[in-house]
Amino acid sequence: MARGWMDRAGFWPLAFVGYFLFQAVWRRATGGALGLDEAQIILDGRGLAWGYGAQPPLYGWLQWGFLRLVPDPILAMALLKNALLASTFLLVYRLLRSAHPPRVAGLAAASMMLLPQIAWESQRALTHSVLCTTLAAAAALVFWTRVLPRRPGAHLLFGLVVGLGMLAKANFVFVPVALVLAAASLPELRRGLSPAGIAVAGAVAAAICVGPAIWAFRHPDVAFASTYKLRRDPELSAVAAAGRGLLALAGAVGGFLALPVVVLGILRWRCGRPAAPGAAPVLDRFLLRTVVVGLALVVVAVLVTGSTNTKDRWLQPVLYLAAPVATLWLLPRMREAGGRWLGRAVAALAVLAAAALPVALVIGTPGEVARGGAPVAEVAAGVAERFPEPGRIVVDPEWLAGNFHYLHPEWSVERAQDAVLAPGETAFLVVMDGRRTVDEVVGELAARSGRALAQGEAAVVSAPYPWRPAESLVLRVVPLEAAQ
């Protein structure tokens, strides 16, 4: 039988890199205002710091570097994120190639496009979760190809990847634990585990996290600001919180896996064959157990914390391998046509995501305007017209602050949630209507600054949304002066 393009080892890396390179350029061509995550990361990327807020600092450090390598900020942000997405697919492909031919490994890696959180949300909005997933794939590859075969320096490398993963996003913590427990559950792999080596890896990871950890404990109000999402509702009993938390987790898992279940289920139905394949390779069983153990750890975390607010994006570093594992199981149970149809389905979803992203970024969805289509340039020009030399500008919300910095990097833009005014210092406060009032923001700023803030005469600046002229972006600009 003649070899097709899916059987060529070099095709898959080129396809993954080519697609995400196109997506980076496509994002730049789309233009518009910055999205929520883009606005946050462009502010974090202005400088190097041990911490920037509730998220660990690694993405901010990487973005700082890309913003200096690439002069265009939107292209710099798009290149970084799409490089991480391409790396995730390449790492998974390399992992699967250790046990499978190119066609099987490539289709299984490409099946991650069936996961909406990767095919859509990661490209549309996410940042830290994208980096976390890339490092989860790197950890799995290093663990399988270096740690379990006990190669020299393996545990140092594994510790490095784990440490970087912890600096990407806190939910990475499930990844190394799931890998070790999954290997320990398989007799063929258990002998490759070294307690001393795992301890060395843990020490390396801990050393990497020291600086950001010290910063976090010195700034607990900022670093742990989002932990309220994991706290139990005080009005619920422990049993009720556990039930509601497990129900929320089940919904998140269902949303994460629904599309691959449907697509792969249809392929099994239409292209399945009765002949039973032989025993699955040990890699396939290891990856399946890694997914199952990782999900079990999340269940334990939900029960321990009493959290009732599980988001599907939090599951990415645990469930990103679910589609490849399912595909590895399915391919031997299908006729050859099934693989071709799977490749077509993945390609169709990739094209659909590329075509739909500009609509979601700039136009919006029914009932919700897109942040990328907001008339930020017009309102920023209005602020500049009224205050030609604005000096320090304190902005609420963060999304607007990031856009102001993008449009006017010469301005001294600061997030309202971080700002502190010194005695006698002046600033302009810009507050977007529809979220918090000026008085609320001034009250928080005064409390953080430890002094009263005198308000000057407010100015209102507004502009209609281009795609929804009946709605307008309205800002209130208030001069402030801190008491001596």
Which residue segments constitute the domains of the chain, with CATH numbers given? 5-362 (no CATH), 374-482 (3.30.110)
Residue 399 corresponds to which tokens in the numbers above? Answer: 């999304």
- pLDDT exceeds 90 at position 8: no
Tens-digit pLDDT profile for residues 288-307: 999 999 999 999 999 988 88
Higher pLDDT, 467 or 262: 262
Tens-digit pLDDT profile for residues 89-135: 999 999 999 999 999 999 999 999 999 999 999 999 899 999 999 99
* Average confidence (pLDDT) over 385-403: 89
Higher pLDDT, 371 or 395: 395
The pLDDT value given to residue 166:
98
Residue 384 corresponds to which tokens in the numbers above? Answer: 């500049």
- pLDDT exceeds 80 at position 276: no
* Average confidence (pLDDT) over 165-173: 96
The pLDDT value given to residue 145:
97
Enclosing H/E stretch for 481: strand 468-482
Enclosing H/E stretch for 339: helix 336-358
- Number of Cβ within 10 Å of residue 391's Cβ equals 12
* Average confidence (pLDDT) over 255-266: 95
Enclosing H/E stretch for 255: helix 238-271
Q: Read off the pLDDT band of 253 (50, 70, 90).
A: very high
Tens-digit pLDDT profile for residues 11-29: 999 999 999 999 999 999 9
The pLDDT value given to residue 53:
84
Q: What is the pTM of this model?
A: 0.94
Q: Write down the mean pLDDT value for the chain.
A: 92
**Exposed, middle or buried, 197 (CB in 10 Å: 0-12/13-18/19+)?**
middle
The pLDDT value given to residue 263:
97
107-111, 136-140, 241-245, 397-401: segment of lowest average pLDDT: 241-245
The pLDDT value given to residue 230:
61
The pLDDT value given to residue 237:
75
Which residue carries 């400088």 as its tokens? 47
- 322 touches 291 (CB < 8 A): yes
Least Cα distance to 112 among 316, 412, 363 occurs for 316
Question: What are the backbone angles phi and psi of residue 369, rounded to the nearest 5°?
Answer: -75, 150
The pLDDT value given to residue 26:
95
Please state, in angstroms and rounded to a whole number, the distance separating the CA atoms of residues 109 and 9. 13
- CA quadruple 9, 14, 15, 17: dihedral sign: positive
Least Cα distance to 386 among 254, 277, 475, 322 occurs for 475
Q: What angle do CA 200, 201, 204 make, to 5 degrees?
A: 85
Tens-digit pLDDT profile for residues 78-98: 999 999 999 999 999 999 999
- pLDDT exceeds 70 at position 277: no
Please state, in angstroms and rounded to a whole number, the distance separating the CA atoms of residues 446 and 439. 10
The pLDDT value given to residue 2:
45
- 326 touches 114 (CB < 8 A): no
The pLDDT value given to residue 1:
37
Tens-digit pLDDT profile for residues 427-474: 999 999 988 999 999 999 999 999 999 999 889 999 998 888 888 999
307: amino acid identity, one letter: S
Please state, in angstroms and rounded to a whole number, the distance separating the CA atoms of residues 72 and 80. 12
Tens-digit pLDDT profile for residues 320-366: 999 999 999 999 999 989 999 999 999 999 999 999 988 888 776 66
**ω before 57 within 30° of 0 (cis)?**
no
Share of the chain above pLDDT 70, in %: 95
* Average confidence (pLDDT) over 204-225: 90
